[in-house]
Amino acid sequence: MKRIIAIIALFGLTTSAWAQYKNEYNPESSIYDRYVTFNISARYGVSFPMGGQQGYIDKLSPTNLALDAEWLFPQRFSIGLKTGYQYANQRLPRQVYQNGDESISAVQTRTLSIIPVMASLSYYFADNAAAIRPYVQMAGGGAFVDYTNYFGPLADQKSGFKGAIAPAIGLKYYGRREQGFGAEIQAQYQNVFFNYDLLKNSAPSLMLSAGIVYRWY
Amino acid sequence: MHMLQQHKSGKGSLWAILLLLTAVGGLSSCRENAVNDLSPADSPVYITNYDRSINFGQYKTFSLPDSVIIESNDAYAMTQNSISTRFVTNVASALTSRGFKRVAKGDSADLGVAIIRVNNQYTGVASNPYSYYSSYWGYGGLGGYGYSPYYPSYYTYQVTDQYWEIQIVDLKNRASTSNGQQQLNVIYDATIRGTDITDTQAVDLATTAIFNQSPYLQVSQ
């Protein structure tokens, strides 16, 4: 009887150890697949003005930073927060502008700064622990916009918090399963519902960004 | 094992967040530096305006003193230096080239030309240090001029406002007010803003730009 109990106990211990072993090393039951896990991302981007924004600044902006934080759910989707900093500027040679009855001769330096504050919903085409994770994303929220058009050193400024949407597609690459650090590329169309003077209708842009990601639990 | 890993990852993300905050802080100064590299020739802003009901072809002569008016708040004085002399010479030659004839001091003329050096200082307490500019540019699309929401609501400020102004007054058609006093109408106005004029070369650039953007200042042939 004692021997039987001993065998059962031994069996129980070894199987539980075996089960643990299986849990840790079987990719099918990664921690990422069982719990809500986290991902942060920081990317540098170039931005191309579109639509109404082209009437104000029509050249590429090389000064953009994107920051994302995401809660990854086991069902391949994530909810996140997006922010960053986008800055575009353009200097125009001296020109005469009409402002009502006034003629203004000035060198214009046009600037546009945008700080987005958005919530995002993403769907991934691979599980949370995968090495390569392509995704589609829809983000919405608002953005702090600062429009400052300098006439010489004098500023014509308008700023405010406006609504914004930003659908995106991208790819996260971690090198191997369950690895924390990785890289990300993203193409994002962003439309900020801001208009003032030379910037008519709204301020859409296309941003291509690349950077680093880190996931953990 | 897991504890250790979590501890490490926690530290890693903290560093990542610190790094990102530094990056954001560095980038947010972009707009403030946008016009730091403006050259002296690119800084001035020349603003001209005129009475749309006036046909400038009807005038033949103009009077222009050799000195300029210094307007300091509400006080006026006259001055003459290398810059003011250059202003007078340039304006006189530009108007002459457009067909107007300068008359000797004291003779009657169709137009009176004034070159004014405005030298104003304002001190006060306000919610917006640029309210003066708001009213100056107030007509037209440039409302909210220079307004920044990041300043505290109330504080003491001092604004020094220095610029050059060229005014042309109609001496030919003098309107009379109800109490019998004669009134002179300003029919043309040009101001030089953005930066102060410190040499005669800047005067040349200013007068050239101002007369180029005022082709209507012309005697009819």
Low-confidence ranges of chain B (pLDDT < 50): 1-9, 27, 125-157
Q: What is the mean pLDDT of residues A129-138?
A: 95
A-chain CB neighbours of B23 within 8 Å are 42, 65
- Name the strand (E) or helix (H) holding B207: helix B200-212
Phi, psi for B209 (deg, rounded to 5): -65, -45
Q: What is the pLDDT of residues B53-67, one digit of tens each?
A: 888 989 999 988 887
> How near does any CA of chain A get to the CA of B180, in Å?
31
Which of B16, B31, B149 is the closest to A113 by Cβ?
A: B31
In contact, B206 and B48? CB cutoff 8 Å: no
Unique residue bearing structure tokens 């072809």: B57
Determine the number of helices (DSSP H) and then strands (DSSP E) in chain B.
4, 8
pLDDT value at position A111? 94
Average pLDDT over residues A168-179: 94
Of A105, A117, A2, nearest to B210 (Cα)?
A105
Label the pairing between strands A61-72 and B45-50: unpaired
- B216 part of contact set with chain A, CB < 8 Å: no
Q: What pLDDT sits at residue B63?
A: 87
pLDDT of residue B145: 32
Higher-scoring residue by pLDDT: A97, A24: A97
- Sort out which chain A residues have CB atoms less than 8 A from B28's CB and list them: 85, 113
* Cβ neighbours of B134 in A, within 8 Å: none
How large a percentage of chain B has pLDDT more than 70?
63
Pick the residue with more confidence: A61 or A4?
A61
Contact B27 A63 (CB under 8 A): yes
Distance set, CA A54 to CA A3, A59, A91, A201, B52 (Å): 84, 8, 14, 11, 33
CB-CB neighbors (< 8 A) of A63 in chain B: 27, 30
What was the pLDDT predicted at B128? Answer: 36
CA–CA distance, B53 with B187 (Å, rounded to integer):
9
Cβ of A152 within 8 Å of Cβ of B52? The answer is no
Count contacts between A and B (CB, < 8 Å): 126
Cβ <8 Å between A111 and B16: no
As a whole number of angstroms, the distance between CA A136 and CA A76 comes to 11
Share of chain A above pLDDT 90, in %: 73
Residue pointed to by tokens 């050249």: A59
For all residues of chain A together, what is the average pLDDT? Answer: 88
Helical ranges in B28-173 per DSSP H? 82-97, 131-136
Nearest beta carbon to residue A152 from set B20, B50, B194: B194
- Pick from B59, B79, B60, B57: which is nearest to B68 by CA? B79
For the cut 80, the answer to whether the pLDDT of residue A149 exceeds it is yes
Q: Check residue B31 and report its DSSP letter.
A: G
For residue A25, the tally of other CB atoms under 10 A from its CB is 9
Q: Measure CB to CB from residue B38 to each of A100, A107, A214 and give the nearest one.
A: A107
DSSP track, chain A: -HHHHHHHHHHHHHHHHHHHHHHHH-GGG-HHHHS-EEEEEEEEEEEEE-GGGGGT--S-EEEEEEEEEEEEPTTSEEEEEEEEEEEEEEEEEEEEEEETTEEEEEEEEEEEEEEEEEEEEEEESS-TT-SEEEEEEEEEEEEEEEEEEEETTEEEEEEEEEEEEEEEEEEEE-SSTT-SEEEEEEEEEEEE---BTTB-S-EEEEEEEEEEEEEE-
The whole-angstrom separation of Cα A118 and Cα A213 is 18
- Measured distance CA(A185)–CA(B35) in Å, rounded: 33
Handedness of CA A48, A52, A53, A56 (dihedral sign): positive
Between residues A3 and B193, the one the model is more confident about: B193
Q: Does B213 touch chain A (CB under 8 A)?
A: yes
Nearest Cα to Cα of residue B85 among B101, B68, B100, B71: B68
Closest by CA to A101, choosing from B54, B27, B103, is B54
User: Between chains, do A94 and B209 touch, taking CB under 8 Å as contact?
Assistant: yes
Overall average pLDDT of the A55-59 stretch: 94
Farthest-apart Cα atoms in chain A, separation: 108
Chain A residues touching B38 at Cβ < 8 A:
107, 109, 152-153
ipTM of the complex as predicted: 0.73
Q: Testing the interface with A: which of B5, B22, B33, B42 to mutate, by most A Cβ within 10 A?
A: B42
Q: Which of A76-80, A159-163, A194-198, B149-153 has the lowest mean pLDDT?
A: B149-153
DSSP classification of residue B75 = E
DSSP letters for B135-156:
HHS-SSS--SBT--TTS-SSEE
* A106 neighbourhood in chain B, CB within 8 Å: 44-46, 194
What secondary structure letter does DSSP report for B209?
A: H
What pLDDT shows up at residue B7?
A: 44
Cβ atoms within 10 Å, residue A76:
17
Contact B202, B82 (CB under 8 A): no
Q: How far apart are the C-alpha atoms of A61 and A49, rounded to whole Å?
A: 8
Q: What is the pLDDT of residue B194?
A: 84
What pLDDT shows up at residue A2?
A: 62
